[in-house]
Structure 1
């Protein structure tokens, strides 16, 4: 049922791309046709944290989006990250305490990489809602960084935030937002990983986030 929901969501999001009007005369003029953005923690992770630390997620992510008009924005999401414990440990589960205790660490890491699609709707002034669908191929490694398996899942996220553009021609922007994530389970996960994943949820609620971007 969860897989069916994710597939239907993927199809609905994909349909947003098909709604672009091909007639130039009907196209709404926009100040900038394209935008590129990244989460703030991508450069932070490259500059501040040690890339090879066990708890470094080695997160790389970029969004390339097209402004169809002043309300509708579609795009492509490219992302790769590495997990050292299940994503479904929420704030009220004592996430920070478990990080300190190391009680839920995987017997290795999971590298998740994918290319997905996004749809963003401007609701009022800078207020927006976004849905993202990201199919991910997963690689499992042990504590010695040796590959022990492959997997697949569909990761989705739902965002509510505010776009703040600045600069002389509003080329730069930041987007503070709150995200909720939902994903399908990976049936091919090795036993040590699967036991931990099955113990926790397949969603994470109310993650604060900031994106940094450039309009052009």
Structure 2
């Protein structure tokens, strides 16, 4: 997961320095909807083991300051989400004896605070399948995954496209029916994570 963190930071830095903003003027497009995702999907073919990550967002612009969206997400992870970055996070001894394959649907609300600066809250319900080291399903559970995000909305090509670097805090207060061998590792760490980088993009229409 440290590799995923470094990948995210490098990608954010590169695109943040290259992206140019455009003020919404008379010739700018005023969208009502958008479709988007996160550039973390590019990590799926690059990182090993792969996070098997995919995300698709569909949003509605309620007002110049208010946006709601639905998020479909699937991914796989191999250790407790609360482990911090660093040597402990890379320690395979703290991994699950297998992996978790999650499929979720979430709702997000974004509020623009000042110019392109925004705050956003997400709540995603995940069905989780717990797989052993051979890839066989052991059992299933439910996770409620919450995110508080702050970022900046870059308008590109007269507001036809956008790019959003951000930082987030996440928590999963509900995480049910883990196999005992997974729960032992899960209980060693916090049920929240701070300072998670993000880089979302989308097409307005």
Q: What TM-score bracket applies, with the shorter chain setting the length?
A: 0.7 to 0.9
Task: Report the 3-state secondary structure (helix = DSSP H, G, I; strand = E; otherwise coil) of the residue aligned with 1:192.
Answer: helix
* Equivalence for 1:19: none
Corresponding residue SS for 1:199: coil
TM-score w.r.t. length of structure 2:
0.82
1:193 is aligned to 2:193: no
Q: Which one scores higher on RCO, CA 8 angstroms, separation ≥ 6?
A: 2
Look up the SS of the partner of 2:187 in the other structure. Answer: helix
Give the aligned partner of residue 135 of structure 1: 125
What is the CA–CA distance in structure 2 between the aligned matches of 1:99 and 1:117, rounded to whole Å? 29
User: Match for residue 197 of structure 2?
Assistant: 208
The Cα shift of 1:102 comes to 1.4
Q: Which has a greater percent of strand?
A: 2
**1:113–1:137: 8 Å Cα contact kept in structure 2?**
yes
Cα-to-partner distance string for 1:109-141 (whole Å, 9 max, x where unaligned): 111111111100011110000000001111000
For residues 139 and 183 of structure 1, the distance between their equivalents in structure 2, rounded to whole angstroms, comes to: 16
- Residues 1:85 and 2:79 are matched in the alignment: yes
Match in the other structure for 1:70? 64
- The reply on whether 1:163 has 2:167 as its aligned counterpart is no
CA positional deviation for 1:153: 1.4
Q: 1:215–1:130: structure 2 CA closer, same or farther, 3 Å change rule? A: same
Instruction: Kindly report which structure 2 residues correspond to 1:13-24, keeping only aligned pairs within 5 A, or say none.
Output: none
Deviation at 1:101, TM superposition (A): 3.1
C-alpha separation in 1, matches of 2:44 and 2:51? 8
Q: How many residues get paired? A: 177
1:80 and 1:125, CA in 2 relative to 1: closer, same or farther beyond 3 A?
same
- Counterpart CA distance in 1 for 2:93 and 2:44 is 23
TM-score by length of 1: 0.78
Query: CA RMSD for the aligned pairs?
Result: 1.4
Determine which of 100, 103, 114 is the counterpart of 1:113: 103
Partner of 2:169: 180
Q: Is the 8 A contact 2:163 2:200 kept in 1?
A: yes
Distance change >3 Å, CA 38–CA 133, structure 1 → 2: same
Cα distance between partner residues in 2 of 1:119 and 1:181: 15
Q: Could you say which residue in structure 2 is the equivalent of 1:144?
A: 134
- CA deviations on 1:158-204 (whole Å, 9 max, x unpaired) are 1000000111x321111011010011242311011001111111100
In structure 1, stretches of 5+ residues that fail to align are 1-29
Q: Distance in 2 between matches of 1:124 and 1:181?
A: 23
Q: How does 1:54-69 map to 2 (within 5 A)?
A: 55-69=49-63
